[in-house]
Amino acid sequence: MPNIVHFEIPADDVERARKFYGELFGWKIEKFTGPTPIDYWSITTGKEAGQMGIDGGMMQRQDPRQQTIVYIDVPSVDEYMDKAKKLGGSVCVPKMAVPGMGYFAVCLDPENNGFGIWECDANAK
CATH of the domain at 27: 3.10.180.10
Half-sphere exposure of 10 (CA within 13 A, CB side): 12
Q: For the chain, what is the domain count? A: 2
Q: Considering the domain boundaries, does residue 109 fall inside one?
A: yes
Say whether both 46 and 95 belong to one domain.
Answer: no
pLDDT in tens, 59-90: 999 999 899 999 999 999 999 999 999 999 99
Please report, in angstroms and rounded to a whole number, the separation of the first and last CA atoms in the chain.
26
pLDDT in tens, 107-124: 999 999 999 999 999 999
Average pLDDT, the chain: 93
| Co-location of 87 and 112 in the same domain | yes
pLDDT of residue 95: 98
For the chain, strand residue ranges (E) read 4-11, 28-31, 40-44, 56-60, 69-73, 90-98, 102-108, 114-120
3-state secondary structure of 18: helix
For 24-62, the pLDDT digits (tens) are 999 999 999 887 778 999 999 876 556 677 999 999 999
d(CA 88, CA 83): 9
Residue 12: which pLDDT band, with cuts at 50, 70 and 90?
very high
Contact 72, 4 (CB under 8 A): yes
Instruction: State the pLDDT at residue 48.
Output: 58
Claim to verify: residue 48 and residue 12 sit in the same structural domain: yes
Average pLDDT over residues 94-109: 95
The three-state secondary structure class of 116 is strand
Domain that holds residue 120: 74-125
Is the domain of 55 the same as that of 31? yes
Co-location of 51 and 1 in the same domain: yes
